[in-house]
Amino acid sequence: MAETRRVEVVLLGQPLAIRTPAAPEYVHRLARYLEERVEALRQAGVHDPTKALLLAALDITDELFRAREAGEQVAALGARLGALTSLLERATPPA
């Protein structure tokens, strides 16, 4: 198991200490990304910081689910192509 370390970030002006095996730079990058998403929602008219954070979390979760689904579709397509290749190799005589 990887060693965990304490990484401190600030989200919506609130300090937050996180114990994680991830590199501090990575955790800070995640926090910046979330802050940017919240800021975009604020500029779009969502002034309540809690609502903006919740909407950003929901939007990011949607992105994650769509990416997973796309990955599963690619894996399924790869398996089908592999099966098709195998059928073609069996159906054609060797050179």
> How far apart (Å, rounded) are the C-alpha atoms in residues 74 and 62?
18
Output helix, strand, coil percentages for the chain, rounded to the nearest 5.
65, 15, 20
Q: Is the model's pTM score more than 0.75?
A: no
| Structure tokens that stand for 76 in this block | 């399924």
Q: How many CB atoms lie within 10 A of CB 54?
A: 14
pLDDT tens, residue by residue, 18-57: 999 999 999 999 999 999 999 999 999 999 999 999 999 9
| Of 86 and 20, the one with more pLDDT | 20
Torsion-angle region of 13 (φ positive above 0: left; ψ -120 to 50: alpha; else: beta):
left
